[in-house]
Amino acid sequence: MTPDQRQRGSHRAEAMHPVCSLCCLLGVDYATLHLLTLLLPPNLLQTWVLGLVRLVILILGVRAVGGMSKLPPWLQGGPLLLSSAVLTLLVPCCATITAVLLPQASASLLHRSGHADLFFYSYFMTVTSTLVWHQLFLEDEDKEDVAESPASVWRLLDLLRPYGWRFLWVSVFLVLSSWSEMVLPSYTGKMTDWIQEKKDPSIFWNSIMAISLITLCSAVTEFLCDCVYNVTMSLVHTQTQGRLLHTILTQDITFFDTESTGDITSRLTSDITAMSEALSHDLSLLMWYLMRAIFLAIFMFSLSAKLMLFTMLCLLVITIVPKLSGAFSQSLAIKVQKSLSAANQVALEIFSNMKTVRSFANEDGECQRYESKLQDTYALNKVEAVSYGCNSVANSLSGLVLKVAILYFGGRLVTYGEVSGGELVSFVLYELQFTEAVEVLQRLYPDVKKAVGSSEKVFEYMDRTPQLPLPGNLKPAHLKGHIQFKNVTFSYPKRKDTLVLQDVSFDLREGQVTALVGACDAGKSTVVQLLLKFYQPQQGQILLDGRPVSEYDNEYYRKMVSVVSQEPVLTARPLDDNISYGLGHVSQSSMEKAAAAANAHDFISSMVDGYKTGAGQKGALLSGGQKQRVALARALVRDPMVLILDDVSSSLDSESELKIQSTIYDNPNKRTVLLISHRLNFVEKADHILVLEGGQIRESGRHEQLLAREGVYWRLWNKQHSTFHRENRDTEE
């Protein structure tokens, strides 16, 4: 025997050990009962002595079994001890109550207290009650340790509150349709009694007509119920998706820095869809079958309370079978999935290292390695097939046992005259539908719980408060455009330990062109993002005309402060819509004037559709220079008082650069211009130049003044021009 075989054998022995231990404990309990019955006279005291002695033995035996064997979690500790107490004290308690209430009947019970039939009946009742207790309570207690989801079912139902009057009609139609479906089994049972009693044939035909009419009404009400419900849920889906998008768009930029685009898109599409489908389909079926189950239970109870109670007990016990087999199948499915993953990993490794495999002529070796993994999967598949067959047989047998038990118990009730034959027929028909309803409810409830899981991130996004200051309402009629940075210190939320700007102070004066230059990672783009109110500085203030920028109305501020970014993004719309983006209707003359100032009018007019030409996804149908010029036109058409140009010359040719320079420096509107560029010849005409290095303003002044100082700006100028002359010399050679 190999070590693996010995290990598998030990696992099987360990798995079987609890069963053997419990069987041995059952034998000890029966031997104790039989022995004490022979030694003690049959009276009330004897039953209590028997019960207490058996209780002590079972408690000691349970502790011994728990110490030596691996019992299921729901049988460990308290549940098994409680079952032992119920088992041993059931007969003494019943005998005591019977002795007080029915003294004559107590003698028979006391005489049979040690018999085998009562012994096994007590075990049957105890096992049944333990299973029922586990089904109803212990599973919920096991789940109490799991943290409750913040998006509860009540939160989902809160989305439906505005449509309460519609769901009132849905409830009415649902009740009418469910009640109508109960008629057919009831009339079937009654007609069975009428046929047996050979009553008037007209009653039979009248019943057929009544059944047909009620069935038609049931179909109509079901149709109306489905129409109202599905239309309402489509409206809920649309409004929830729109509300989520609005919430996302109002978040701060930090939110988009920390959350990936894929996650956000998934919440807006996949999770909303999963949640809506569960609410529109699964919740609809859940309500439908729940209402049917309620009506079926009422009708079954009205036919025979005893038969109904017997059916419920049998159902609670039988549902243990698919639950146990389902747990085994689930664990087996996980093993199959892991085995397939291992095989796929081998295949992926082979394909990714194909040159190595070919160079060492190891194709056959890799095939054998892959096939060995597949053989492991095949072995698990065989076990899974047998498990599936056993599961199907177990479910079929459990259903058959339930039907046979109901027929047997119902037949006894018919024999005793407690129910009629027709009522038994009706009850069996109701029971078939009731079992189906219970199975559907058990299958749908986890799907509805998945909707709760899908909605967690949705509600998390909806409940998120943007980390932004309160929106301002300042909208002055006249704006000068004077911007001041006062001792601004800033670090990005994801890199709080790294200061990007340190105590930065400067002015952007109205009517002037201020250039901001510096090496990469100096903090130039951060200045732009702070001016656009994407982030808030940790220290210092940013003022516009002497007022903090946070006090201005957001829409007004975005119109007065416009930006052209280094890598502008256009939308998949016509060019005129891109230029007028966010402004609504803009006259054609205004767009053409702005496009001409941005040196974009000529190339737009040369296109077949002119300003109606589509830009493509993210402007993919345009070149880099064309996109930048369209983005500049988009900024100029707003006629802003503050214009921010973040390296707009990076993709421009010489001619376009000269035309845009004239647009910037002529400045007929006396707007404030912040010019950021890596090409220093583009900024040498600026009224004021700021040199940023290491997050601090190192120098400031005009072009000639900064060159005369021979500082940071002078080094940047010399480095750029030496590189330029070297590239020209290499080109000439």
Paired strand residues for 644: 563, 674
621: helix, strand or coil: coil
Q: How far is it, in rounded angstroms, from Cα 225 to Cα 215?
A: 15
| pLDDT score recorded for residue 146 | 38
CA dihedral 555, 557, 563, 569 (to 10 degrees): -20
Asked if pLDDT for residue 357 goes beyond 50, the answer is: yes
Neighbours of 410 (CB within 10 A): 25
Instruction: Encode pLDDT of 563-618 as tens digits.
Output: 888 777 788 888 888 888 888 778 888 888 888 888 888 888 888 888 888 888 77
Confidence of residue 125 (pLDDT cuts 50, 70, 90): low
CA angle, 216 then 217 then 220, to 5°? 90
Share of the chain above pLDDT 90, in %: 0
Average pLDDT, the chain: 75
| pLDDT score recorded for residue 75 | 53
Looking up tokens 């920390």, which residue turns up?
258
Instruction: Please name which of 240, 281, 275, 246 lies closest in space to residue 456, comparing C-alpha atoms.
Output: 275
pTM of the predicted model, to two decimals? 0.55
Paired strand residues for 507: 484
DSSP state of 163: G
Looking up tokens 């110490």, which residue turns up?
67
The continuous run of DSSP H or E covering 689 comes out as strand 688-693
C-alpha to C-alpha distances, 19 to 16, 120, 324, 535, nearest whole angstrom:
6, 17, 16, 66
The continuous run of DSSP H or E covering 443 comes out as helix 421-463
Q: In a 10 Å sphere around its CB, with 0-12 CB exposed, 13-18 middle and 19+ buried, how is residue 261 labelled? A: exposed
583: helix, strand or coil: coil
Looking up tokens 């109904």, which residue turns up?
308
| pLDDT score recorded for residue 142 | 45
| pLDDT score recorded for residue 2 | 47
Neighbours of 409 (CB within 10 A): 17
Phi/psi at 689 (nearest 5 deg)?
-120, 130
| Residue 712 tokens, joined | 């940071």
What is the pairing mode between strands 642-646 and 672-676? Answer: parallel
Asked if pLDDT for residue 451 goes beyond 80, the answer is: no
**What number is the average pLDDT over the span 58-75?**
62
Q: Helix crossing, 103-111 with 44-68: angle to 10°?
A: 50
| pLDDT score recorded for residue 5 | 46
Q: How far is it, in rounded angstroms, from Cα 291 to Cα 171?
A: 10
Neighbours of 673 (CB within 10 A): 22
**What number is the average pLDDT over the span 542-549?**
88
Asked if pLDDT for residue 733 goes beyond 70, the answer is: no
Do the Cβ atoms of 611 and 581 come closer than 8 Å? no
Instruction: Encode pLDDT of 327-351 as tens digits.
Output: 666 677 777 777 877 888 888 888 8
Between residues 281 and 166, the one the model is more confident about: 166
